[in-house]
Amino acid sequence: SSAIKRSILDKLMVEVEANLGTAMTYTLFEYAKDNKEVFMENQPVNTVTSVSNSIATGTPDVPASKKKDKKEQLSKTQKRKLADKTDNKGELPRGWNWVDVIK
């Protein structure tokens, strides 16, 4: 609710005024994380009504996991360079990361 948001902002502004002149982004996030229970103690919970509303209206829920992620496609030159670096199994040749000690 807007009253809860206002109270959270007021508490954060007190913390901002206490840390003026210093780098405080991390400090504010840590303060908010540590006091999240205090911030949300008066927040009403309406989880049941939102579920029943979506069922009653008949809106289909499309999960985000059904989206197919596109693979990054390589150009021909990128594929050739990759093939030149690896053997026929796609593995790097033996000793590719060895240090040349006898220079």
pLDDT, tens digit (0-9, with 9 covering 90-100), for 18-36 = 888 888 888 888 888 888 8
Quote the mean pLDDT of the chain: 75
User: Would the pTM count as exceeding 0.75?
Assistant: no
Q: What is the mean pLDDT of residues 92-100?
A: 71
Percent of residues, the chain, with pLDDT higher than 70: 69
Whose tokens are 């360079």? That residue is 81
Under 8 Å between Cβ of 12 and 32: yes
| Confidence check: pLDDT of 103 > 60 | no
Under 8 Å between Cβ of 4 and 40: yes
